[in-house]
Structures are given as structure tokens and as C-alpha cells.
Chain A
Amino acid sequence: MDPPMDFQVVVLAGGTSDKLSPLVSKELPKALLPVANKPLLSYPLELLEASNLKNIIVVVEGDEAATQVESWLSVAYMDRLNVEVVKTPGDVGTVGAIRAVAPFLISTDILIVSGDLVSDTSPGAIAATHRRHGAAVTALFCPAPVSGGADSSTSGGKDKAKKPSRCNIVGLDPTRQFLLHVVSGAKVEKDIHIQKRIVRAVGQMEIRSDFMDAHVYAFKRTVLLDVLEKENLYSIKQDVLPYLVRTQLRSEISAKKENSADESSNGATKELPSEDININSAVPSNQNLRWLSQHREIAPSSYQEIHISDCDMNKSRPAKKTHKCCIYLSGKTQYCARLNSVQAFGDINRDMLGEASRITGYTFSAQNNVVHPTVVQGAKTTAGGQCIIAEGTILGDKCSVKRSVIGRHCRIGSNVKIVNSIVMNHITIEDNCTIQGSVISSNVQIQERASLKDCQVGAGYVITAGSEYKSEPLTKK
């Protein structure tokens, strides 16, 4: 079956991320981490499905993770999506993951979506923007979570090095359609080096640091494959995108553009700076026609025109080629977040219960919560607003659950207070426990009178009776 609109989709599901320890483990790869009781991978997949993209390639790092993801996919999306799982060895980075699937890529453009994206930004809009500009790459940027860390009071001193790593420096043209400069988190230095050439071509550059790379890219396939041949690239976000942005006015990647598969794309890579086309060339080739039709792009201040004329001006280097790097900024009303840290995990879960509850697909009851009908609640137990309690869970007497997610088949004793926490599946919590602002992985046993505050508890851990923990990651040795 032909891919719709000549777009193929690759979802990079990752493996067992270090950043998310102790929550993820060999038993629970990142892709299956429950967010609001649904595996993380289901969010990008459902987003794609909503856009009628049903043929999806999922790349998973590591054998075990791949097996687990595959078995989950085969059950959950058996008759809905046509998902192909490709596994890669660990630590090859996103570029390595794309290299692994390169033989499968046949369509004109490739949409690469990160598996940890939780968003309702339409991938179609990104793809359409990409097509409209005939860009080499189009990246989705969203407003960075304004105070992702600082806002949630619980995480005061925890995110030591996180603040700087979040901020990307992005340079935009005045119309906010083209990406002129990008430095991603880890590589931000004290000084910003901007190419004069680009600034001269555009006239004006807007530099922002409050946009976040959402890790959704539309690549032209030929560009992508050319880039993959280069050595020492590891990550799309940190290496490939900056590379393409850097070289957009002196493109090296378009040497082999003449192949037939590229016919339907009319990117700037093909705009030949040939002069007097109407007069000199006898029978214009398809390319020149493209150029002719693109040539008339109006809006004289727009970037492309200057691009072209920039080519024209430097007649000394007629072979100079360019490609376009575009940006799609998601709207203010749209939710967009990446689950790439423990912090983000907590934030996203809370958002799913609150402002972004539309993404989850649950219908909230009058009390603004979701309680599965099979949940057994004891006397005087209350489930407050913004709660999700999944099936088979048994709550004892006088419990109180507020702003929390509780997974499947948990047994919770009497007089337990769970506030602002995420409790995964098959967890036993005995009487008189207090859990605040914590994440508790599956199969944890919490014995009576324990008190947890701002802790992350790894799978299978046993918390002894009466113990108190505060702001600690707890893992089974």
C-alpha cells in the first residue's frame, strides 16, 4: 500500500533510558512506561492514527525492549495499525536508529517522531508545512514548558543541571517559518556564533531561547540518506539538525539530487541559479520549469527570494546550492511535551489529569476523575478530583486519593493517603501509609505506616514498615 501523501513515519521509541531510572528497567522499557495508565508509546501512535497514518515503523533499542514492545503492539493495535518493529543495539543514538531503518524508507518524505512525545499537535500540519515550502527538513518546536521545574513546588533543589540543558537557542526569520540557527541544549556555550552569511541573506534574525525541540521532524528522504552517510553523527537533534541548518546556504548534500525519486519534490535544492531561462535554454527541463514556477514566489522580504537572488549575485560560484530548513511552531493552545526525565514524567502525568486531559481519551466524571467500575472502595474512602484509578484496584476504608494516578490491581489498605503521586500496577500498600509527590513503580510493596515524599521507587522494591523517605530514588539492589 502506498504511504499516504508520500510520507512514511518512523517512531523512535528508545530503549531503557538512563535519565528515567529508576522508573524504567529491563522489564519496563521506556516506551511502555504508563502515563495516565496508558503506555507512553500509545500517545504518539494515537496521534498518528488520528492523522490517518496507519503504517508506522517503530525503532526500539535493545532486544528485550523490542520484544516487549512488539508483543504489546500486537495486542493493542492488532487490527488498527500496521506497525513494524525494528530493533537496534543500544547506544547508537537516533541517527543509528534511522540508519537501521534506512532500507525501508521509500517515500519522498519521512516523518520522524519521538516515541516520548505527548502532544496534540497535528503531524499533518508539520508535513503540510514541509511540503508547502519544499523544505529539506522541517522541525516542530513548541513553547518550552514555562516553568516546568520551578512550578511544581516539590522539586526545588533537585534539577541542578536541568535548567540549562532544557534551553535551546533558536534563530528564526521574521516570518517565523525558517530555521536559521539552532543550538541544542547540551552544546550551548557562553557565546552564540551566528553565521554572517545567513544573517545577511535574511536581514533580520529573531533569537529565542524559549522554544523546545519537540523531536518531530519531516525530512526529505534524499537529504536524510545523504546525511546518514556522514560519520560522527549521533543524534538528530544535536548533530543532524544543526548541521543542516548550518549548511543551508552552501548545501553539500544535494549532489545526488538528480535521481528520479526526487521528482515530486521541488525544494530549493533544485533551484538552479540559471539566468535568462526564457531566452537561452531551448527546451527547458522539468527542473527549470520548477524553478520558473518557484521563481515567482512573491513577498519580496521573504527568505527564499533573497535566497535565490543571493545565488544570483554570487555568479562566481554558480554551483552553489541551498536547501531550506523550516520550522513549525505549535500553537499556544496545543499541548506538547516530551517525557525525557523523571521530572517530566511527573509533570506530564499531572497535565494529563488536568489541563491536557483531552489527550488521554478518558471521559472524566462529574467529580473530574476517572474511576473504573471494577474498583472497590471501602467505607469513607474518597477519590478526589483529577484522579485516575484503573480496574481491579481495591481501596480500603478511610482512604483519600487526590490528584493521583493509580494503576491496575493495586491493593491499598485502610487510612492511606495518596496525594500528587503516580502508583503503577500491582502494588500493595498497607494501612496508614502516606504517599506524597512520589512515583511508585510496579510490584512495589509498601508496608504499614510508611511515609514517602517526593521519592521514585523502582520496580519490585519493598519499603519496610514505618520507614520514612524524602526526595530519594529507591531501587532494588
Chain B
Amino acid sequence: MDLRRPNRPVIGPKVRQVGFVTPDSAAATSSSSIPAVSAAAATSAGSPPSSLSPVMIPPPRHPSTEMSNPHFHPVGSYNPSEQILGSPPALSPSRSSRFDADGSDFGGDDDESVALSGVGGGMTPKSSLLMRQPVTKTAPLVSETRKRDSNVSKGKGEGPSAAPKEKLTKAERRATQEAQRAAKAAAKEAAAAGGAPSVSKQPKPATKPATQQKKDVPSGSGPLQPLAPSGSIEKKQGKKEVAAPHPRMQFDDMTKVGKLKKRAVVNQSEARNRVELFRHLPQYEHGTQLPDLESKFFQLDLIHPSVYQVGLQFLSDKISGGNARCIAMLLAFKEVIQDYTTPPEKTLTRDLGAKVGSCVSFLIECRPLSVSMGNAIRFLKNRISSLPHNLSDKEAKSRLQSDIDRFINEKIIIASKAIVEHGVSKIRDGDVLLTYGSPSVVESIFAYAHGIKKNFRVVVVDSRPKHEGQGLLRRLVERGIHCTYTHLNAVSYVMHEVTRVFLGASSVLSNGTVYSRVGTACVAMVAHAFRVPVLVCCEAYKFHERVQLDSICSNELGDPDAISKVSGWKDLNYLDGWAQNENIQLLNLKYDATPSDYVSVLVTEQGMLPPTSVPVIIREYGIERLWT
């Protein structure tokens, strides 16, 4: 390890590698086998899984090339005895030297950290931080990054000659597919064997207990058909609540996805060509969900009409934006509570909680929840469970409804007003303000500043495919604000004249990372490079105690067709029928994470804060502390 260190700079943890590179293709090109990949191979090849990784590494696309690799080291099953028995492969000096240098324990640890950084799903913040801190341990991470780097550059310059993978023949491809299938089956078996405690020291993310819980329930209540006739409503509801997909569920785990699908209300078929790095995120075939859900309109007795309506609107993207979605959801829940009557022999607190849970799981099926919605739901459930038992139904209902009203009012409406007041104080005459997308709070700030006769210009930066900025532009122009409209590609040109950047956020995490519409990070970084202050406006109810270092492990995938089609250009049809071509994978990410280094100040209703103060706000003014 020491041998390898001098010739590479240590990259700080804030630089993230976001590439379209699959770990296995890295293996295919690089001569030495990468631990992460071999770990994947180890689990998928059906070798007795000593550890069931919580992060299911997707089965390799070309396992045949993998298997034929002479330097194949199953790392999951790596143990000291191997060192005694097998001689280190002669052709990979770097690896053997590493093994010599490290203790066996060390080797194992390194591998895991690499695996985590490679796929990144479900890592718990603490452990990942812990693992990265010692310098010796970051080294393999760096090497991994590097290899990928080289790969990326190759991929970018990809011509017919420089293609990283050689074209496979039909037979080869079939062999590959079969191997994949076998690998999947093996993985399934492994998962079924599953609850077995794993030997490795890998961190256990929260998905683990969720699996066990899920497993327990069906076995306890017997084989319940998902479409059982009415009468088992209570049972269904109980089950539904458990069935709510874990927010950080790994969607590349076939067994879990299968189970989820059985209970799903929305008929979703998984998209085929998914980018490997994001396979742990749900991606469905768009276009079939809406008609299917619509045709089942009257069949879904259990779901309240207003929740259904909101779900449809989420699914069809009629309502988008964190605040709008949260308000729409809360108002729907208010109506659910209004129409709720406690069934006999049940208590309101328990049954209503289950009912809300089932509504939530329906909404998740329509579109993954945003952090703000998750916080609001947590608040509501908290209020439900903390209701005193001696309340009558009517009192309890009215109390909950007024709680929801207060939440909307105080946490969203008044909060945004306070933010507007704070934000306006940072606008001076002659300013050129830049914003990206269509953040609602920022719009209000501009409108208010214009209302109090401040003299400023606005640059609206927009991006494909949603073009949300156009709506903002239209509304600003109608108010008489002088605007410039441009696309994200041109942001570095317009940044010269900009004096302030106002951005919105979907969520702010406790390490100060701003999780927002994809492209925000780019704008923030460009602004940082031009030394333009970046103000992120975000209500405090969108703060979350989670720590996230990259935008890979938790994100949302949009409709790939949205980026493959260019509206208004009928003759641009190069990507028609891409879903049939297995060599194309489209990635339509919806969010990205802006590291706190690029954020000058957070504008919240509690005042203007540095991003490092987020944990304080969460601690002092968090959802849990609301009116307790």
C-alpha cells in the first residue's frame, strides 16, 4: 500500500465521482481485479454467501469475462487461510504487494469501503465517515476513483475504435445473459437464505430490520392474498402499513422488488435499460402507470378519493415542487381525517395511524416522497400517536385537523414569508440575481423586492426536460421585472454579470449538503468559482438529520423518455426505440447534492445561517420539537 501511495494525490472527500461507469466494466478493462467487483461476483456466482451485503451490488453485466479473469478474488469469502493455501497471482503485482503489506483484516475493511463508495446505497453516514477518515484506508478508494476516471475519459472519447468493450457476438451475449440470470437466481437464493447473520463487519443499514419485519408478517398472518375480498380490510390495512416501501429500499434486490410489486396498487413494470450505478433506485416504465391507475379508479375502495386525486396528480406531474406537494398531501390527509370514523373495537390512534400509513404507501407508489413530505408525515403520525386516549372521535379529529392547518400555516406559509423578508434584505439596487429552475420561495422574494421598488435584474437559468424556469420567467415578466433567460449550458457566460445567486432546495441535510433539483450543484459551483455569493432559500421543515455525501445513494429517476425526446423537433429521432437497444442507458436524474462548501448562506425562517448550523436548527426547532 505504501508503494502505491506516493504517486497519487489524496483527494478530499468532497469530490464525488459521478459517472456512468459500471463497476464491472471497470474490471473488464483494468488488468487487476477490483475488490468491489469481485465482491459482487462472489455473491452472484453462488458461492456460499458469507455476508449478505445490505447493498446488493448489481450482478455483473459480463460475468463470463469476469470468470475468465485469472485474478479473480472472491473477497466476500476472503480469509487468511487463502493466503496460506493459494499463492498470490503472479500477474497482479500491485495486488499481491498490497496483501503482503496489509493484514488480512485490513484488506477486508478496505474492500468494503470500496464497495460502499462504488455503489453507495444504504450506507449509514457514521460508518462511512469513520471508514474514510484514516488515510490508509482512503487509498484504495482513490485508486478506485482513478480507475473509473480513466474509464470515464475512455467512455467520453468513445468512437467505434476506442470502444471500451468489444462488440459481443450473439452467442456470447446469450451466454452473458444466461450467466446473469443464474447470478440473479443465486442472489435471490442468498437473499432468501437471508436473515442469517452476516460475518462481515459491514454496517447494517436500516433496510435490514425492514426485511425481517416484512418476512415475519406474512408468515404470521398466513398466506394473505393481496386481492382478498372485502372483509379483511383491517388485515389489509395492517399489512399495507408494513408494506410501505422503505424510503431507502434497494431496488436492485429482486426479491424485495418482487414482494413490493405484489402489494402495489399502481401497476409498474421496471424499466429495462437502467444505468448500473443507479440500479438501486426505482425506475419504472413511464406511460403505462397512469392509464392503468386511472382505469382502476373505482376499484380502490380503501384509498380516500382526495388521496387518490393527489396521487394521480403526483404521478402525472401536475403538482410538483416540494411545498406544493407537501401542501396537497396534507390537505388530502385532512380530508381523510374528516371522513374517518373509528371502526368498532378499535382505537383511533392506532387505526388512523394505519390508515394514514396506507395512504402514504399509495403516494409513494405514485412518486417517491420528498424529504419535506416525509417530515410532514412524521409530524402527523407523531400527533396521531400522542393523542390522549380519552378524547372523543370528534375532538380528536378536529384537533388533528387544526394541527395540520397549523403545520401548513406556520411551517410553510409564514416560514416562507419570513424567508422573503430575510432574503429581500440581501438584494441591493443594481443587483443582478440569478436563479435556477422555479423555486417558489425565490419567486416570492423577487416579487416582494420588486414590490418595494428595488431595482434589480433577474437571470433565470433553466434546463431540459421540464423547463420549469419558463413558468417563473413568465410570471416575473408579467410583474414587470427585467429578466434574462438562458439554459444551464450557458451559466458560465452569464455568471460574469451576476451579483447574487438565489437557489431553492428540496432538502438540506445535516452536514449542510443541499439536496435540490438536478443542476443546482452545477450553478452553485460555477457561482463559487466566480466568487458570487450563493443564497439557498429553504424552509426549516425541509431540513433532515440525514447525512449524504453524494447524489447517488438517494435520488429519484425520472422518465428517460423525457430526455430522449426533444419537443418541437420531430426530425430528431436518433433515440427512438432506445428501450430495445441494450447498449443505451438513459439517465434522467431529478436531484443532486450540492456540497456545503459552495453554499454561502442558508436563508431560513430562523434567519440567515451558515450551512454548518443545520444540525442546530434540527435539534432546536425540528419536527419532533413542534408543540410537544
Contacts and interface: CB of A to CB of B under 8 A. Distances in A.
Contacts of B413: 278, 284
A316 interface: no
Contacts of A286: 331
29 contacts: A5-B305, A5-B308, A51-B298, A53-B298, A122-B295, A123-B298, A124-B295, A125-B294, A125-B297, A128-B293, A128-B308, A128-B312, A131-B308, A132-B312, A132-B313, A264-B309, A278-B413, A278-B420, A279-B417, A283-B409, A293-B324, A293-B325, A296-B319, A297-B319, A299-B466, A300-B467, A300-B471, A300-B474, A313-B478
A238 interface: no
B416 interface: yes
A84 B376 CA distance: 44
A4 B293 CA distance: 16
Interface stretch (B171-179, B265-273, B427-435, B444-452): B444-452
A276 B448 contact: yes
A292 B312 CA distance: 18
Interface in B407-422: 408-409, 413, 416-417, 420
Nearest to A127: B297
B298 A127 contact: yes
B318 A132 contact: yes
For the complex of A and B, the 5 pairs showing the least CB-CB separation, nearest first, are A124-B297, A128-B294, A300-B470, A296-B324, A122-B295
A122 B297 CA distance: 9
B292 to A, nearest CB: 9
A6 B305 contact: yes
Contact of B327 (A51, A263, A292): A292
B471 A298 contact: yes
A299 B317 contact: yes
Contact of B297 (A128, A283, A300, A312): A128
A305 B478 CA distance: 13
B415 to A, nearest CB: 10
A264 B318 CA distance: 17
Contacts of A278: 413, 416-417, 420, 444
B327 A298 contact: no
Given A124-B297, A278-B420, A293-B319, A284 B409 contact: yes
B301 A4 contact: yes
Contacts of B308: 5, 128, 131
A214 B417 CA distance: 49
A367 to B, nearest CB: 33
B51 interface: no
Given A7-B298, A127-B298, A289-B408, A276 B327 contact: no
Nearest to A123: B298
A52 B300 CA distance: 9
Contacts of B327: 289, 292-293
Contacts of B294: 122, 124-125, 128-129, 132
Contact of B319 (A131, A294, A305, A312): A294
B296 interface: yes
B312 A124 contact: no
**Which of A127, A278, A298, A313 lies at the interface centre, i.e. has the most chain B CB atoms within 10 A of its CB?**
A278
Nearest to A7: B298
Contact of B335 (A51, A132, A264, A298): A264
Interface in B298-326: 298-299, 301, 305-306, 308-309, 312-313, 316-321, 323-325
**Which of B324, B440, B470 lies at the interface centre, i.e. has the most chain A CB atoms within 10 A of its CB?**
B324
A78 B156 CA distance: 69
Contacts of B328: 293
Interface size class of B (residues with CB under 8 A): 35 or more
B231 to A, nearest CB: 15
A295 interface: yes
Given A4-B298, A124-B298, A305-B471, 9 more contacts: A5-B305, A127-B297, A128-B294, A134-B309, A278-B416, A293-B328, A297-B320, A298-B318, A298-B321
Contacts of A294: 319, 324
B468 interface: yes
A279 B295 contact: no
Interface in A89-142: 108, 122-125, 127-129, 131-134
A398 interface: no
A276 B324 contact: no
A286 B408 CA distance: 11
Contacts of A374: none
B440 A296 contact: yes
A293 B310 CA distance: 11
A290 interface: yes
B146 interface: no
A339 B475 CA distance: 49
A298 B301 contact: no
Interface of B is mostly: helix
Interface string A290-332: 1011111111110001000100110000000000000000000
A298 B466 contact: yes
Interface size class of A (residues with CB under 8 A): 35 or more
Contacts of B408: 289
B474 A124 contact: no
B324 A295 contact: yes
A309 to B, nearest CB: 6
Contact of A289 (B317, B331, B471): B331
B220 interface: no
Contacts of B296: 124
Nearest to B472: A300
Contacts of A125: 291, 294-295, 297
Contact of B478 (A5, A124, A279, A312): A312
Contacts of B316: 132
B309 A132 contact: yes
Contacts of B295: 122, 124-125, 128
Contacts of A300: 467-468, 470-471, 474
A292 B324 contact: yes
Nearest to A129: B294
Nearest to A53: B298
Nearest to A174: B567
A125 B312 CA distance: 11
A158 to B, nearest CB: 37
B312 A131 contact: yes
Contacts of B474: 300, 305, 309
A296 B438 CA distance: 9
**Which of B319, B325, B413 lies at the interface centre, i.e. has the most chain A CB atoms within 10 A of its CB?**
B413
Interface in B196-221: none
Nearest to B334: A286
B312 A5 contact: no
Given A278-B444, A289-B331, A313-B478, A298 B320 contact: yes
Contacts of A301: 470
Contacts of A305: 471, 474
Contacts of A264: 305-306, 309, 335
Given A132-B316, A284-B413, A298-B320, A51 B331 contact: no
Contacts of A313: 478
A95 to B, nearest CB: 26
A277 to B, nearest CB: 8
A313 B297 CA distance: 37
A293 B321 CA distance: 9
B409 A296 contact: no
A135 B33 CA distance: 60
Nearest to B469: A300
Contacts of B293: 128
A298 to B, nearest CB: 5
A177 to B, nearest CB: 10
A81 to B, nearest CB: 13
**Which of B294, B306, B408 lies at the interface centre, i.e. has the most chain A CB atoms within 10 A of its CB?**
B294
A300 to B, nearest CB: 4
Nearest to B331: A289
Nearest to B441: A278
Contacts of B467: 300
Contacts of B466: 298-299
Given A125-B291, A264-B305, A286-B331, A297 B318 contact: yes
